[in-house]
Structure 1
């Protein structure tokens, strides 16, 4: 087996491996020294292959790891009160979402952005406690309940779950491509 074939075989083993494969194991299977494996991994990486070195061996980088899903979700409630806002925020965090902020668009005041960074029910509760302490109107009253949540999830499934939760509450406004005509 020549160098190119060996590197191809090494990469196939990493693709099929469920767990990290040690340099010692790879060197035995491919009948070369561990140092050759180190060099082959370096060459594969220089060619764009995403190979991670861990304490337990080599493995391919998970294509979904570190890949977040961001979306701005348009929501509306005609009579939103603090309890409904809290329920809305909890639906997002309960389904794996992070709420980075809320954006409102007002005819006079323009674009209003509110940083939130809510990761959990505890964060939501603390946010709502601060809001209730101020005893003011909800800012969504300025826009008749229309607002956009900037949400991040770890994967598409979490994003779909939280969207379904918001739909179930009657808060999610479908985007133009999702609207149906009568």
Structure 2
């Protein structure tokens, strides 16, 4: 095949699945597009079709990941309510990851749309830094800005409850935790 030749339909989607299944890190739509000689927008459509076929693909702020059912041991999951200014977002996320807690998502209750959520999937300071960078580069607003007073929820994951407890204590000291 010519290196500039587009990979079509089903073959392209299978290549996307195979690539994501074997990757140990997220892969952006741009990179998948370059691999298959199509635009990022085509990849976004392919991902939507794959999700409709129950492929466990998740879009994160770092790119797409394939959620292997057997990949991780059972982790503790908890929802934590927070409130802070947009300028405190990095501080909040760093408190979580510094205590061994992964921030899976953010959820808000919007006055018109109801419950809204977005995947974050940050587990370390570098991922937090990249997440904040992407928000700034896109000139996007944080979901918490769409709520009354900035109240939002995070689904978090940790290997044990002690990590979550330590994160909550640090959030409490930073006046970010809502109890």
TM-score using structure 2 length: 0.57
Say what the alpha-carbon RMSD is for the aligned residues: 1.5
Instruction: Give the distance between the partners of 2:143 and 2:137, measured in 1 at CA.
Output: 14
Distance 1:128 1:173 in 2: 22
Q: State whether structure 2 residue 151 is matched by structure 1 residue 167.
A: no
Q: Which residue of 2 aligns with 1:119?
A: 123
Q: Give the distance between the partners of 2:93 and 2:106, measured in 1 at CA.
A: 11
**What does 1:99-178 align with in structure 2 at a 5 Å threshold?**
99-143=103-147, 144-174=149-179
Unaligned runs of 5+ in 2: 1-71
Q: How far did residue 139 of structure 1 move?
A: 2.2
Distance in 2 between residues matched to 1:66 and 1:113, nearest whole Å: 25
Alignment of 1:4-83 (within 5 A): 66-77=73-84, 80-81=85-86, 83=87
Structure-2 separation of matches of 1:107 and 1:141? 12
Q: Which secondary structure state, in structure 1, belongs to the residue aligned with residue 128 of structure 2?
A: helix
Looking at CA atoms only, which structure, 1 or 2, has the larger radius of gyration? 1
After superposition, give the CA deviation of every residue in 1:98-120 in whole Å (9 maximum; x if it has no partner): 11100011121211110111111
Q: CA deviation at 1:67?
A: 3.8
Q: Provide closer, same or farther for how the CA distance between residues 138 and 67 of structure 1 changes in structure 2, counting only shifts above 3 A.
A: closer
Q: Distance in 2 between the 1:107 and 1:148 partners?
A: 15
Contact 2:135 2:141 (C-alpha < 8 Å) held by counterparts: no
